[in-house]
Amino acid sequence: MKNLLDIYARKKRDIAAIEKELEETVYSDHSLLRDTSIHLLKAGGKRIRPVFVLLSGEFGSYKLQTMKHVAVPLELIHMASLVHDDVIDDANTRRGQLTVRSKWDNRIAMYTGDYIFARALEVITQIHKPEVHQIMSKAIVEMSIGEMEQIRFFFNADQTIRDYLLRIRRKTALLIGISCQLGAIGADAPEWMSTKLYNFGYNVGMAFQIRDDILDLIGTEKQIGKPPGSDIKQGNITLPVLLTMKDPAMKPMILTELERIHKLDGQTDVSRFLDLIRGGTGIKEADRLSQCYIDKAITALDKLPDIQAKKDLIEVAYFIGNRSY
Amino acid sequence: MKNLLDIYARKKRDIAAIEKELEETVYSDHSLLRDTSIHLLKAGGKRIRPVFVLLSGEFGSYKLQTMKHVAVPLELIHMASLVHDDVIDDANTRRGQLTVRSKWDNRIAMYTGDYIFARALEVITQIHKPEVHQIMSKAIVEMSIGEMEQIRFFFNADQTIRDYLLRIRRKTALLIGISCQLGAIGADAPEWMSTKLYNFGYNVGMAFQIRDDILDLIGTEKQIGKPPGSDIKQGNITLPVLLTMKDPAMKPMILTELERIHKLDGQTDVSRFLDLIRGGTGIKEADRLSQCYIDKAITALDKLPDIQAKKDLIEVAYFIGNRSY
């Protein structure tokens, strides 16, 4: 978190304004909703989406008031989807904090997600541009299909790399893509710019998720805020695993481990599985693909004017591609 | 259902068009989402919200295409909230059909709700009127607060009648109110008309929910599509119960029953409880209050032009106040 803040120290004041707006938006007279929502906000996160909104807005006529009304809903939609995901994943911690479902219960998590999502919609109505609502709602539909889709692939060793890429597209890349796009549209930047910025965000999002999935395999609990191997315990087979399984010498051993973990419903030590993957070439190959997405992202910015925001976007992209937390 | 259709036979063709649009809207290439969504649609429902949109639209310049884009999201938002409610209520049947959570599971029900809700948002973006989005999103926030709020009052015998009324306002009345309002706004009716129509719908909605809660106590399983007493099994203390408890002779017996049912988490025969309530005056008093809301609703229409839609709205209101299913 600190590193990233250093990178975009220039926008610190506006990011703080958005942080305040996030809190005010989810504030409720209802004490339980207030508690669960504030718990979620305080658990932090990198606020990548708001930062991308702000930086993309600089390609048009930047007004903080408008940027807030774009950035806050995007971050809240992200948060709402995380709470619902935690229910599916039986996740107990996220970012080193107890999840809503573990601190309260699954039902409260479901309704907290509904509430935060509703608040997000309320804020975005302040933007009176039909295309903003259309772009956002289409992304939300895709995200919700992705949510359901992931269930189908839990512990499914027959899935292809394409299945994985489509999943992370819906889960992560689309929302980051439209964060850039809507930031630009909100600031009345020309359409060709908002499209380029979408491409930038989309590709950064793909890299971001791949990096996330790598970190789940090689990071320490301190770095990633949850025990390593959480993905496979939930049945989530990620890119490094799929790539490692391409090696005929590795595949049978991984399948045996997968089957064992599946049978025990993830309630087991997964260090043998982690050792297997760490011993193969999948992590390195996944990292290479992630770097390709970063390169694509940066190329998408080529024709955009060389303002400070462009340099910042590039820096954030490099940070994301190499982050270890 | 048939009775209601008789009442608004005049709009049959347009209602059929909306039914078709509902199906097309939730259609997905994703087989599980398609199955769960179509299951929900086929389980039926009275389609009160679309009917109110259509009738209210006749006070302006009625265009079916626009009406569809208002009616479909409102019905879908209603459906999405029902699926999430079924998760909270552990409900196994609704309208005589298995619920999504019982036919599939709670997680699939949660994501089906998210998906249907997302589809609703996608459709409403076709309406380019900021006030439509603002009215809708505010109602959705209230509904989501109401969802969480109901948990707090499960088996809570200290709640007041005001608590109950606030709950059904959020749960039911607001969405029916805005169905009328947005139907009128969608058809460019003047603001004073859409406000009157909101008042009509809101009061009908209050009556509707009170009637629903009465039917849960006095209806047969065939009439109400779920076993009678379902509310109290879930801990939902409704108006007739609260009114009956005002009688000092009844209160201790009801409290004893409530405590027993609570201890057994609703997994028990509730016929003694039903007999107690049926033997008191609470049902009759609740019915009287419901009739007051119907009267208020009809009064709200006073100054509106005497077109056929007004007669139809009045008829639907009377139907709702007296329905036995």
| Mean residue pLDDT across chain B | 92
Most confident of A146-150, B134-138, B217-221: B134-138
Task: List, as one string, the DSSP characters of B64-97.
Answer: HHHHHHHHHHHHHHHHHHHHHHHHHHT--EETTE
Residue pLDDT, tens place only, A238-278: 999 999 999 999 999 999 999 999 999 999 999 999 999 99
Contact between A304 and A59 under an 8 Å Cβ cutoff? The reply is yes
CB-based contact A115 B147, cutoff 8 Å? yes
Q: Which of A108, A128, A141 sits opposite B130 (nearest CB)?
A: A128
CB-based contact B147 A111, cutoff 8 Å? yes
Cβ-Cβ contacts under 8 Å, A85 against chain B: none
Q: In B79-176, at which residue ranges do the beta strands (DSSP E only) sit?
A: 93-94, 97-98
In Å, how far are A168, A196, A277, B15 from A171, measured between CA atoms?
Answer: 5, 21, 23, 36
Whole-angstrom Cα distance, residue B110 to residue B121? 17
Cβ-Cβ contacts under 8 Å, A87 against chain B: 107, 110
Q: Would you state the structure tokens that stand for residue B27, as one six-digit string? A: 């259609």
Cβ-Cβ contacts under 8 Å, B148 against chain A: 30, 32-33, 108, 111-112, 115
Examine the predicted complex and report whether its ipTM is higher than 0.95.
no
pLDDT at A177 over 90: yes
Q: Which residue has the higher pLDDT, A4 or A22?
A: A22
CB-based contact A30 B125, cutoff 8 Å? no
CB-based contact A87 B107, cutoff 8 Å? yes
Whole-angstrom Cα distance, residue B218 to residue B229? 9
Count of C-beta atoms within a 10 Å radius of residue A2:
7
Q: Would you state the structure tokens that stand for residue A110, as one six-digit string? A: 């479901």
Of B155, B192, B187, which is closest to residue B58 (Cα–Cα)?
Answer: B187
Contacts by B38-46, CB closer than 8 A, 24 or more apart: B39/B97, B39/B100, B39/B103, B40/B79, B40/B82, B40/B83, B40/B100, B40/B112, B40/B116, B41/B79, B42/B97, B43/B94, B43/B95, B43/B96, B43/B97, B44/B1, B44/B95, B44/B97, B45/B75, B45/B78, B45/B79, B45/B95, B46/B1, B46/B4
CB-based contact A121 B122, cutoff 8 Å? no
CA distance A292 to chain B (A): 30
CA distance A26 to chain B (A): 10
Which range among A91-100, A181-190, B59-68, B242-251 shows the weakest confidence by mean pLDDT? A91-100
Q: What pLDDT shows up at residue A103?
A: 83
- Sequence-ordered list of residues with C-beta below 8 angstroms from that of B121, at least 6 positions apart, any chain: A121, A133, A137, A140, A141, B73
Q: What pLDDT shows up at residue B322?
A: 83
Nearest chain B Cα to A144, which residue? Answer: B115
Which range among B92-101, B160-169, B312-321 shows the weakest confidence by mean pLDDT? B92-101
Whole-angstrom Cα distance, residue A211 to residue A207? 6
Provide the percentage of residues in chain B whose pLDDT is more than 70: 98
CB-based contact B145 A28, cutoff 8 Å? yes
Residue pLDDT, tens place only, A57-69: 999 999 999 999 9
In the structure, what pLDDT confidence band is assigned to residue A134 with cuts at 50, 70 and 90? very high
- For the question of whether the overall pTM of this predicted structure is more than 0.90, the answer is yes
Q: What pLDDT shows up at residue B3?
A: 55
| Domain boundaries along the sequence of chain B | 4-322
**Domain spanning B4-322, CATH class:** mainly alpha
CB-based contact B114 A88, cutoff 8 Å? no
Residue pLDDT, tens place only, A82-127: 999 888 777 777 777 788 888 888 888 999 999 999 999 999 999 9
